[in-house]
C-alpha cells in the first residue's frame, strides 16, 4: 500500500502508458484496415479480440524478461555485423508489413473480387486469419516498446498496468479510427503508405540503421492533416 503513494511509481505508470499509446498508433492503423476486410457484424469483435490478444502477447513478453535480454545478443555474425534475434524479428516483420501493405494497396486501387462465392469461401477462415495477422504484427510493433519499458522501470506490475491502460485507450479509439478509414478511401491508401514507411523503418532497424520514431510520426501526422484538409475542401465543394 505504501508503494502506491510513491510519486515515482505514478510517473513511471503514466509515462509508460503514454509510450505504449503513441507506439500503438501504427498497430491501430493495421488493425483497422484488417478488421474492415471482414463482414460488418464481425469487425467490432475482431478489433476487441485482436487488441485483447495484443494485450496478452505484450504481457507475456514482459514476463519473459530473460528472453528479451537475450534478443539483443548477437546470434551470429556476417563480417563485423552481429545479427541478434531482435534484428531477425524486425526484418521479418518489416518485410511482411511491406508485402501485406503493397497487396492491400493493389486491391484498393485495382479492386478485389467480391462475388458471392468468394465471400462465402473466405467467411470460414477470414476472422481467424485476421486475428492471427493482428497478433503477429503486434509482437513486432510492441517489441521495441516492451524493451524500452524494461529499461525505464524494474517494476513488472507497473509495466503490466501501463499496457492494460494503453490497450483500453486503443480499444476505445479503434472503432472511430476504423470507421473513418473505411469511409474515406484516400485515408485508407494513406494509412497503407504509412505501414510501408513503418515496414521500411523496421527493416532498417533490423539492419542496424536507426530511424528516429519522431520523424516517422511527424510525417504521418503532417500527411494526415493535409488529407483531412483535402477531405473538408471536397465536402464543401460537394455541398456547394
Strand spans (E) along 31-174: 74-78, 81-84
Q: What is the reported pLDDT for 148?
A: 61
| β-strand partners of 188 | none
> Total structural domains in the chain?
1
Q: Give this prediction's pTM.
A: 0.66
As given in the structure block, the three cell numbers for residue 231 are 477531405
How far does CA 68 lie from the centroid of its chain? 19
Q: What is the reported pLDDT for 194?
A: 80
Distance linking the first and last C-alpha atoms of the chain: 62
**pLDDT tens-place string over residues 107-159:** 777 765 444 444 444 444 477 888 887 777 777 777 666 666 665 666 778 77
Q: Does pLDDT of 45 surpass 80?
A: yes
**pLDDT tens-place string over residues 53-98:** 878 887 887 777 656 666 777 777 777 777 887 788 778 878 887 8
Backbone angles phi, psi at 81, to 5 degrees: -90, 115
Residue 185: domain span: 2-239
Q: Which of 46-50, 67-71, 105-109, 234-238 has the lowest mean pLDDT?
A: 67-71
Amino acid at each position: 500500500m505504501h508503494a502506491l503513494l510513491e510519486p515515482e511509481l505514478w510517473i513511471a505508470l503514466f509515462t509508460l502508458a503514454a509510450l505504449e499509446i503513441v507506439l500503438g498508433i501504427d498497430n491501430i492503423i493495421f488493425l483497422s484496415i484488417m478488421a474492415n476486410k471482414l463482414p460488418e457484424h464481425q469487425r467490432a469483435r475482431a478489433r476487441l479480440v485482436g487488441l485483447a490478444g495484443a494485450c496478452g502477447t505484450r504481457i507475456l513478453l514482459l514476463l519473459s524478461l530473460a528472453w528479451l535480454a537475450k534478443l539483443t545478443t548477437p546470434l551470429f555474425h556476417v563480417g563485423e555485423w552481429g545479427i541478434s534475434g531482435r534484428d531477425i524479428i524486425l526484418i521479418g516483420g518489416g518485410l511482411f508489413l511491406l508485402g501485406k501493405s503493397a497487396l492491400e494497396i493493389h486491391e484498393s486501387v485495382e479492386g478485389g473480387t467480391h462475388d458471392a462465392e468468394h465471400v462465402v469461401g473466405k467467411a470460414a477462415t477470414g476472422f481467424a486469419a485476421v486475428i492471427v495477422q493482428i497478433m503477429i504484427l503486434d509482437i513486432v510493433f510492441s517489441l521495441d516498446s516492451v524493451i524500452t519499458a524494461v529499461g525505464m522501470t524494474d517494476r513488472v506490475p507497473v509495466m503490466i498496468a501501463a499496457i492494460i491502460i494503453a490497450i483500453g485507450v486503443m480499444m476505445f479509439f479503434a472503432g472511430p479510427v476504423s470507421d473513418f478509414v473505411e469511409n474515406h478511401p484516400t485515408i485508407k491508401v494513406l494509412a497503407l503508405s504509412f505501414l510501408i514507411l513503418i515496414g521500411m523503418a523496421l527493416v532498417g532497424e533490423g539492419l542496424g540503421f536507426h530511424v528516429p520514431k519522431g520523424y516517422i510520426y511527424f510525417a504521418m501526422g503532417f500527411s494526415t492533416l493535409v488529407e483531412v484538409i483535402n477531405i473538408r475542401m471536397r465536402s464543401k465543394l460537394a455541398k456547394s
